[in-house]
Chain A
């Protein structure tokens, strides 16, 4: 990964080997998080700036903690929404920040392609924390990590992703990473939430939840928003919950005993997931959160290293 890439914007750009590199490194990072002193000096003196145009407490905090554990300085910058509202354009904001010499910009924006746009105009590294409906690379990686940690390997495993696929950058990042590690991906949701041509990204499509989760090793539930005014995709969350939501009864009857349940958060309890399932024995949602810090540490570490070239020389002792 390092060597080829200065930025991390899309898992679509990463090869299988590069993804595994990040996951392997994240294992060591996770060990650091279990120490009494959760700090290593690796990124001391480096600046990580969180440039978030969409509110997000959890992802931003996760990146912030990751930076701090690595001894980097973390700065949070929450900007007004889009370029068209009064205030600076995206580029102006970034250029202003760049003048303060950050090493890494972590960007979340509601417009797909915004991190890509920024990466072309700044000298530092850009990490996408989610752009529109395009990708959320660190989430995809932490999902891969969590599943690999649970199953040892993703080869031959089946993962079902359930929810509003058409608006989900998490689903797309998962789709660009899980199959590279050998998993089969199934997408499930009402027909209004499945985007055209998604099969070409390498997944099978199901509208029936039961068949989608039958025999699956993992089920990733996505948050459902009914707040889409102007283009309602479902009549209400009640009907969604009945046909595509997961509760204890469906989990007990339809899932393999060893199957695990993931969710990128925040959970709409009672809609896509009932509380007893979200808090139940199959849920690895809290593991995802912990793994998220480790994976983000690995990402920051790999991008912050100076020249960024892979060297295989022996280290002088």
Chain B
């Protein structure tokens, strides 16, 4: 995917989020939480798109899931734990959780565990830019920019301008064949 395609996908997701929220009367209660690092630009952009329509940007938070990972014993500790910043109350909110790539589902599981430690939202929707299949847990994206079918050893990377890339793109790096 090139930058144009990424932006179109973001806009489409934003539109779908807004529609569903309107249908439930939950527009006022929207809030965005981006999973570091790849989910944060997605959350910011969807939020900005929604703000163009509603006039007021919904609250935004960021979540680092390092402390909630389930694979500490086998992988060892990650020395770098990024900042988590969720400053608004979650009660009654419709949280749109955003990540760049949905794969095994373990990151989302960790994010959900962490999120509920901050409070009890009314509901949580999952928005991802790329759904590449390969789920190991029963997790589904409510909104996906694109669905890709790639091999198990391949690596799908989303490069965001906000995170330092020259321009937005989605690339697939072919790995070893299993």
Contacts and interface: CB of A to CB of B under 8 A. Distances in A.
A40 to B, nearest CB: 4
Contacts of B75: 305-307, 311
- Please classify how large the interface on chain A is, using the bins under 10, 10 to 19, 20 to 34, 35 or more: 20 to 34
B171 to A, nearest CB: 13
Contacts of A307: 74-76
Contacts of A302: 77, 79
Nearest to A45: B73
B159 to A, nearest CB: 13
A2 B104 contact: no
A304 B78 CA distance: 11
A39 B104 contact: no
Contacts of B76: 2, 305-311
A40 B100 CA distance: 24
Interface stretch (B24-32, B113-121, B143-151): B113-121
A251 interface: no
A118 to B, nearest CB: 22
B102 to A, nearest CB: 7
A1 interface: yes
A27 B83 contact: yes
Given A28-B83, A31-B84, A307-B74, A317 B103 contact: yes
Contacts, number: 89
B101 interface: yes
Interface string B67-94: 1110011111111111111000000000
A41 interface: yes
Contacts of A317: 38, 99-104, 106-107
A305 B76 CA distance: 4
A41 B113 contact: yes
A252 interface: no
Interface in A48-76: 70
Contacts of A311: 75-76
Interface string A13-40: 0000000010011011101100111011
B67 A28 contact: yes
Interface of B: 38, 64, 66-69, 72-85, 99-104, 106-107, 113-114, 117-119, 155
Interface of A: 1-2, 21, 24-25, 27-29, 31-32, 35-37, 39-43, 70, 301-311, 314-317
6 contacts: A2-B77, A28-B84, A32-B67, A305-B75, A305-B77, A306-B73
